[in-house]
């Protein structure tokens, strides 16, 4: 087995294929709550100056980018787990994700964007409150 090709158990492969990268229940819950209180936003918004990257929710005119991160995929310090099969592959992948998160935040900040990141384990009401507060402030209210 080479470093670039890791074999996975069929059950793991199926589970990973079923895991939604976009429009998962966490994202849908937050978006539904924002919509219900009257906020209108863009979903899976392609980011300016960053090829092949998008944020989960955006308020483009206000330059607010929101990322709703899964604890596993982004290496949550509270809920990250060590995978027993191919741990070097997964650790490398998650570290690359975290590095990309930092780079994305830095580039967006250079262009005047406000970046909000939330973990999937955070309380939905708290996430919505933080987003509403940021949007309200950006609108000058």
Residue 2: per-residue pLDDT: 46
Count, in order, helices (H) and strands (E) of the chain: 4, 4
Report yes or no on 12 lying in a domain: no
Residue 48 belongs to a domain: yes
Q: How far apart are CA 115 and CA 111, in angstroms?
A: 11
Residue 9 placed within a domain: no
Q: Is residue 88 in some structural domain?
A: yes
Helix (H, G, I), strand (E, B) or coil at 38: coil
**Residue 82 belongs to domain with CATH number:** 3.40.960.10
> Which residue range is the domain that position 37 belongs to?
21-138
Question: What average pLDDT does the segment 12-36 reach?
Answer: 76
Residue 4 lies in a domain: no
Residue 108 covered by a domain: yes
pLDDT of 18 over the 90 cut:
no
Residue 37 DSSP label = T
The pLDDT of residue 13 is: 54
Enumerate the β-bridge partners of residue 116. 66
Q: What is the mean pLDDT of residues 92-113?
A: 94
Q: Minimal CA–CA distance to 135: which of 5, 39, 4, 15?
A: 39
- Asked whether residue 36 is assigned to any structural domain, the reply reads yes
Q: What is the pLDDT of residue 10?
A: 64
Q: State the pLDDT at residue 79.
A: 78
Residues 68-95: what's their mean pLDDT? 85
Task: Say what the pLDDT of residue 19 is.
Answer: 53
pTM of the model: 0.82
The total of structural domains in the chain comes to 1
* Average pLDDT for 93-112: 94
Is the residue at 63 inside a domain? yes
Q: Model confidence over 25-55: pLDDT tens digits?
A: 899 999 999 999 999 999 999 998 888 899 9
């Amino acid at each position: 087995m080479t470093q670039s090709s890791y074999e996975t158990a069929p059950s793991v492969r199926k589970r990973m294929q079923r895991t939604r990268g976009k429009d998962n229940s966490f994202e849908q819950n937050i978006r539904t709550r924002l919509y219900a209180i009257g906020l209108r936003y863009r979903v899976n918004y392609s980011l300016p100056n960053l090829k092949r990257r998008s944020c989960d929710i955006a308020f483009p005119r206000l330059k607010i980018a929101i990322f709703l991160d899964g604890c596993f995929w982004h290496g949550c310090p509270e809920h990250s787990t060590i995978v027993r099969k191919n741990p070097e592959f997964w650790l490398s992948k998650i570290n690359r994700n975290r590095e990309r998160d930092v780079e994305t935040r830095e580039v967006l900040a250079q262009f005047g964007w406000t970046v909000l990141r939330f973990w999937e384990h955070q309380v939905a009401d708290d996430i919505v409150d933080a987003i509403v507060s940021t949007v309200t402030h950006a609108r000058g209210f």
